[in-house]
Structure 1
Amino acid sequence: MYIGFVVWPLFMGVQYSFYDWNGVGPATWVGLDNYVKVFSDPYLLGSIRNAFVLIAFFTVIPITAGLMLATLIRSLRPGPFSRASQTILFLPQIIPLAAAGIAWSWMYAQTGAVNEILGWFGLGWFARPWLADYGTALPAVGLIGSWVLTGLCTVLLLTGIGKIDGSLYEAVRLDGAGWWREFFTITLPGLRQEIAVLMTLSVIAALSSFDIIYTSTQGGPGRATLVPALSIYRIGFTQSDVGLASAFGIVLMIMVLLCVLPIQRLSKAGDR
């Protein structure tokens, strides 16, 4: 099953990347020309840059917020409120990303909920069509990803905190440590593995994001939110350039590996 659905398609993708092929007619060998085009086309390079910008929204914000929320929920007395908080925070994770993109595109509209809330607080001058503005479209899409991933980060980190030996917290409190020292000396080091897992998942989600972009902006306005996965889709299925799409797909896979493998290596090195 693995060979049929992973190894073989990967092998075919590598093979197609060396050809100029429209998916139907005869293929022409072009060598590394498709890869040269990936790294010389300003639009494709722009989509790669956008993907790396999304890493900040898909990784830094959700993990930071998850750490804060997990620590706060842990300090609550176990009961219905604590369980309800975890459930509510996790709900965005089970919503299909396509549906999340559509819902947030309505909320970001000129007459949507986001601008309405700004108006309630006297910030109506700040209202705008967020997804149609060149300066705010990419951050607005990034915040959708932050919203989706924060619940997963919170629940996983809360589970990790539960595995930390409670006697460590008692010992540091007896030494007169405050909340900050307790967090940085016990909680944060104890969550190294969980943070590494979340960084891996969120970096992959940022670099391969497609659903949210496609349903909310389709890469617009202009190419302000164009990302590699959407570029590959357009090149392969709209422009019928299977060779270039395959080459870009291989480049995207290598990018993901180059970002994820150091995270895994650092997390393992910290456990020695």
Structure 2
Amino acid sequence: MSGLDIAEPRHLAASNLFYRDPALYDRVQSDSTSASSCRALVHRHRPDARTLLDLGCGTGRELELLARHFDCIGVEFQPGLVDYARRTRPGLDIRLGDMRTIRLDHTADVLTCLGNSLSYVHDNQDIQAVFRTFAAHARPGTLLVLCSSVAPIERDEPQEAEVEIGSDTAHVTITYEWDLRTQMNTMRRHWVFNSGEETRDVIRRRVLGPRELELYATLAGFDVLQISDEIGAGTLHGPTAYTVARYR
């Protein structure tokens, strides 16, 4: 759930509970299969890959799992997440940077952008800038693996959920709004913890349809190999999909 907006990092940290409490994010996402799905896609399309650059690496949780198989570098926009990742995962190489503009003078066999990080880039020009960053760190044959929103989440009634957080439990009420003109999906969450503490946060994600992803990738020099749910060969139901592309 990492990423960036045209807003300042402090503004995003104030709006997203997981940016304010990275340890909570790690606990909530402890059952995530993103790293394993990414590895399976890399094995399918680039089994000889040895180096990996992850843009929008968040707390480094997925990067830590990927680093068991690849020589990895991570880039993250939120200073609080970078500090947390360096403190809790000191073996990782994590850089503070904006994926619209960062240039590491380094290419990799695999580029990844997971956890809906791309969905936090809202402006068309900024999205193009991110794809230019992908291209700047690619060489012929480099594989790009994206996990991003491809369809909005729309529900008429609030969604209720119980979230296990270590020995604690939180009750979360979630509502969604969809703005077709801006292709913005807004998620508002009301958290009530067993301790009685309450907090609210807001997450805004830009939804890029599959054909848009193909266009941005093609303009940046990548050929799309598949856009699918998880690691499926062709199924696509949304709202999140994996896009795999190869640099020409």
TM-score (norm 2): 0.27
Bigger RCO of structures 1 and 2 (CA < 8 A, at least 6 apart): 1
TM-score (norm 1): 0.25
Identify, as 1 or 2, the structure richer in helix: 1
Larger proportion of strand:
2
